[in-house]
Structure 1
Amino acid sequence: MEISVIIPVYNAEKYISKAVESALQLEEVKEVILIEDQSPDNALSVCRELAQQYERVKLFQHPDKGNHGAGASRNLGIEKATGDFIAFLDADDYFLPNRFNVEGELFNDPKVEGIFNAIGTEFLTDKGKEEFLSNINDTYLLTVNYPAEGPEVFKGLLGQTPKVFGTFFTLDALTVRASALEKSGLKFNEDLRVHQDSDFIIKLAYHCYLKAGTIDKAVAIRGIHDDNRITKIKKYSPQYNQRQFLFWNSLYQWSQVNALDQDAKQHISLQKKAFELSVKKGFSKAKTLFAAIFKDPNILKTKYRFTYTNHETQ
């Protein structure tokens, strides 16, 4: 296997060296692509040093040298990648030695276009740990509840399987064929500054044939620290609801131009409407809510069902 590992870099000078070196230790990694996104710290200098030190490390910035967010950075990384497979890594996370242990065997099946695995958690600061436990309170191992593949993965991520599949797995633990991304034309939504990874994964599960890999133990570690923006937002606060609305609205717009089954379309539509209502206030909110309930009472079951479990630093 020849794998291109894409790392968007923003405000991560303290962590990026460990992330890069964790990828370089793996023989399957053909190249590590750093997309520096106008960091306010010294990350660009660290990235330059890494690119000079290691032949497999390639450093890029956006053409205008500006800040465009993780979605745009990952899209640029995909454009620059030359490997047959794509993997992603956040700049404050790192791979474990077993990261690609099952990929070689599972990708022997030509219908498999992506493999997802489990990741663990490391608390890098006391403040980050406190915010994480109070606002996210996720388990150490971020994984799904049982192995699945194909259309069941998409249904599971939307919570539409008889047995609870789990609502998320992270980019750090995803490996996908470069040809599958090219075939589907799928890109990260650059308008989403957060949750664009969740958005991408759900869409990927629809367009491509994904299969569970190592889901009972970690193949990578996510770092929790003071600068994780997502851990600072309390669930169901106005800011949380606004971000969730933007996420579900992105999926809603996508669902309208793709041939999803009616149950999936309805679920996405209801989630979008629920969070749209949650950001309204006063009489406008009450009026819109009553109209929505009259149209479909199932909306009362949706608002608090979806929980977000990943983190990002930009």
Structure 2
Amino acid sequence: MDQDSLPLVSVITPSFNRVDLLPATLNSVLSQGYEQLEYLIVDDGSTDGTWEWLNCVDDPRVKVFSHPDRKNRGQAASINLGLRYARGRYVVILDSDDLLAGGALAAHVQVMENTPSVGMVYGQGYAVDERAARLYKLFPSSHQEESDPNRLLLDCYIVSPGLCMFRKSVISKIGQLEETFRAAQDHDFVLRVAEVSRIAYSGVECFYYRKHRGTISANGQLSRWKNGFKILERAAVRYPYQRSTLRRRRAVLYFRLGQVYLEKGMYLKAISFFLTCSLLDPRRAIAVGLKGANRAEGAF
């Protein structure tokens, strides 16, 4: 397909105090070789020089935004601001500390153009260290997408929206990200996409999740799992999930809370969550906890 006839892709990056990591993220987007691209970067009230650095970027594809009075309003609000200005047929949401793999945009545009019923496509990703050395891949070679919201709710295997390309028309249908969530809003978002459209797995290497000292703390994990219960309640109202899916998901959330409180040394509270988990689905919760112990912090 001729470059001029390709559909426009909007890449959106929310950024807060990432002046040390953002240059590599930006380079991974601008070096894609995909010409029909706009890169919207929303600064969320940074105080480390990010805003000043962004305003020195000299590339017509890059558009820089901030909230009124440069206030800090959170990641979801920053992404929503980007979405309001995005003109692309397709949207990629990339965190400011992560990277796109070369050719990711072109590969996923082709999937979307060839399968109009797909509202979201995602590919293979790797966790990498601060030097971008690979640590492990995010999906096994046997991974397949069933396009079943029950599986996505239960297993929460899409650890970051950076893996994905979304159809803008589907985003318009489901609405913006939930701004009251300061954690786990990405999981809620992809669930809502899966509830109204097909999702597909390309298998294309497309994304690198950077593990570094700034990744989610124990307090961040606590907010994430507490929000998990809110997401579960809302999902149960929106979509006819299987009752076993809801019960088993609740078990995992209790298990995860138990892990957080155990790490904090709050042993009685941790035990109470582990006991609740054991009444719901002990085998699965423990299996998921052990499997995810050393994996991406964003994983649900």
TM-score by length of 2: 0.79
Q: Deviations over 1:237-295 (max 9, x none)?
A: xx4762343232122221232122323222333344555677597888878887x57xx
Distance 1:249 1:168, change over 3 A: same
Cα separation, 2, equivalents of 1:123 and 1:287: 35
Secondary structure of the structure 2 residue equivalent to 1:167 = coil
- Map 1:153-168 → 2, pairs under 5 A: 154-156=150-152, 158-159=154-155, 167-168=157-158
Cα separation, 2, equivalents of 1:284 and 1:89: 36
Which residue of 230, 234, 238 corresponds with 1:250? 230
CA contact (8 A) 1:48 1:59 kept: yes
**In the alignment, which residue of structure 2 is the partner of 1:194?**
183
Distance 1:84 1:297, change over 3 A: same
Q: Deviations over 1:112-154 (max 9, x none)?
A: 11110122233226xx99xxxxxxxx95222355353453365
Q: Deviations over 1:83-123 (max 9, x none)?
A: 01000112122222221243233212111111101222332
- What runs of 5+ residues in structure 1 fail to find an aligned partner? 130-137, 160-165, 234-238
Cα separation, 2, equivalents of 1:91 and 1:211: 25
Distance 1:199 1:178, change over 3 A: same
1:298 aligns with 2:298: no
Q: How many pairs align? A: 281
Distance 1:154 1:7, change over 3 A: farther
Distance 1:89 1:244, change over 3 A: closer
Cα separation, 1, equivalents of 2:173 and 2:160: 22
Work out the percentage of aligned pairs sharing the same amino acid. 19
CA contact (8 A) 1:86 1:178 kept: yes
Paired AA for residue 142 in structure 1: L
Distance 1:97 1:123, change over 3 A: same
CA contact (8 A) 2:145 2:200 kept: yes
1:41 aligns with 2:48: yes
**In the alignment, which residue of structure 2 is the partner of 1:163?**
none
CA contact (8 A) 2:248 2:281 kept: no
Query: What's the C-alpha RMSD, in Å, of the aligned pairs?
Result: 3.3
**In the alignment, which residue of structure 2 is the partner of 1:113?**
119
Distance 1:242 1:311, change over 3 A: closer
Cα separation, 2, equivalents of 1:178 and 1:55: 22
Cα separation, 2, equivalents of 1:6 and 1:44: 16
1:203 aligns with 2:195: no
CA contact (8 A) 1:120 1:141 kept: yes
Which residue of 70, 88, 103 corresponds with 2:93? 88
Distance 1:274 1:203, change over 3 A: farther
Cα separation, 2, equivalents of 1:88 and 1:289: 35
Deviation at 1:221, TM superposition (A): 2.3
**In the alignment, which residue of structure 1 is the partner of 2:3?**
none
- What runs of 5+ residues in structure 2 fail to find an aligned partner? 1-6
Paired AA for residue 93 in structure 1: D
Cα separation, 2, equivalents of 1:276 and 1:222: 24
Cα separation, 1, equivalents of 2:224 and 2:148: 23
Of 258-267 and 110-119, the range deviating more from structure 2? 258-267
**In the alignment, which residue of structure 2 is the partner of 1:214?**
203
**In the alignment, which residue of structure 1 is the partner of 2:173?**
183
